[in-house]
Amino acid sequence: MLFDLFNTLVLLKDGDAFYLPSLKKLHRFLVKSGVKVSFETFESVYFQVRDMLYSESEKTLEEPHFRVRISRTLQQLGYDFGVTHPLVIGATEAFCMEFMRYISLDEDAIHVLRRLHGKYRLGIVSNFAMPECAEKLFDKFDLNKFFDVVVISAAVNRRKPSPEIFRTALTAMGVRASETVFVGDTPAMDVIGPRNVGIRSVLIKRKTSPPSDSISLVYKSPKKVVHIEPDHVIESLRELLTVLEDC
């Protein structure tokens, strides 16, 4: 069993409500470290850099670390700090710490994982530019004990729906694609991606999910028509326990 992370096992409070507070905390860290630029200017350049990086990733399916966008933003603002500079690392952590305040655990997650753990080998395959922040979330919600493998896109420089990220997880778990089910919330990544390597898919489609065309600060890929239907659709994680009987 492979799971997506965000909006599958853990939930983002109020969609992208985390973004501006997290970016402001990052900016405050930079200002305290000697970067003299207004938040408005930093915000504008940051989103230009971020969107450019994601536009490139649409073609390559690579996942640059979050620190890359901070480094490039600062470079455009006249500060030459590389991705390994303590200031860039500290700014990334500042964003993470605020971001984590907006994350909650799905109410059914622990119950479902307890039922599955030991019966199935469990893994995570998630698109996320801050693998270190994912580790902090796993510690916060005590999730590590359930999972044999955790593959975060920025740690392997491949993002869903890239076949490589799924194959990385399969190899690490020592299982075949035909034996595996993937659970996620985004058809273009969590249905097409698994299906392309022979993994069956379960799409979680929550009643409270925001419309796909809603305005958001979170980068959204260009709309793609998904012709491949998931093997199953559920509205809550608890339903997964019933669905697995038919898989």
Instruction: Give pLDDT tens digits for 107-118.
Output: 999 999 999 999
Burial class (CB in 10 A: 0-12, 13-18, 19+), 133: buried
Q: What is the mean pLDDT of residues 2-24?
A: 95
CB neighbourhood size of 124 (10 A)? 22
Q: What is the pLDDT of residue 224?
A: 56
Instruction: Give pLDDT tens digits for 91-144.
Output: 999 999 999 999 999 999 999 999 999 999 999 999 999 999 999 999 999 999
- Long-range contacts of residues 77-82, Cβ cutoff 8 Å, at least 24 apart: 77/35, 77/37, 77/41, 77/42, 77/45, 79/35
Q: What is the pLDDT of residue 14?
A: 87
**Is the pLDDT at 223 greater than 80, yes or no?**
no
Instruction: Give pLDDT tens digits for 147-197.
Output: 999 999 999 999 999 999 999 999 999 999 999 999 999 999 999 999 999
**3-state secondary structure (DSSP) of residue 145:** helix
For the chain, where are the E strands, in sequence order?
A: 2-3, 10-12, 103-105, 123-126, 149-152, 181-184, 200-204, 232-234
Give the angle 85-87-89 at the CA atoms, nearest 5°. Answer: 70
Q: What is the Cα gyration radius of the chain?
A: 18
* Placement of tokens 């979170």 in the chain: 218
Average pLDDT taken over every residue of the chain = 93
Protein fold of 2-11+104-246 = Rossmann fold (3.40.50)
